[in-house]
Amino acid sequence: MALTRYESGLEKLTEIDGDAGQRVIDSLQSVCPDLARYTIEFPFGDIYQRPGLDLKSREIGTVAALTALGNCAPQLAVHINGALNVGCTAEEVIEVILQMAVYAGFPAALNGMFVAKEVFLSRGLIQDPAAE
């Protein structure tokens, strides 16, 4: 039996970012559970399901866009994790954020890079020099 958009979306979101799906559901539970549902159904149940662009490239595009937009730090952190989870290297993530200096300016690239630094620290990919 075919999965619903919600079911396949939650599966895809879990593939991309482990427990991020459950966290978004929990965080919206008391205020607007339907926004959690739509977030799972449309982005992950419709768009990320599509053939024609591999998941690694989708995450490259998302990290680029969220860095350039510059006001979505929480979502950028989710998708930096997602990019790493679907096979991007830390170097590839760094490169796409760095490249945004060209298209959205240095502040956007710097702020995006600081989000990446937090994610990399949390995954033990880099060391916090201040902690040494």
- List of residues contacting a second copy (CB under 8 A): 24, 26-32, 34-35, 38-39, 42-43, 46-48, 50, 52-53, 56-58, 60-72, 74-75, 89, 91-92, 94-111, 113-114, 116-117, 120, 126-129
10 vs 48 by CB, closer to a second copy: 48
Question: Least separation, in Å, of the C-beta of 12 and a second copy?
Answer: 12
18 vs 46 by CB, closer to a second copy: 46
Give the residue from 51, 1, 2, 20 showing the smallest Cα distance to 10.
Answer: 20
Residues contacting 67, CB < 8 A, separation 6+? 76, 96, 97, 100, 104, 108, 109, 111, 112
Q: Are 93 and 57 in contact (CB under 8 A)?
A: no
11 vs 90 by CB, closer to a second copy: 90
Question: Least separation, in Å, of the C-beta of 24 and a second copy?
Answer: 7
Distance CA 41, CA 24 (A): 13
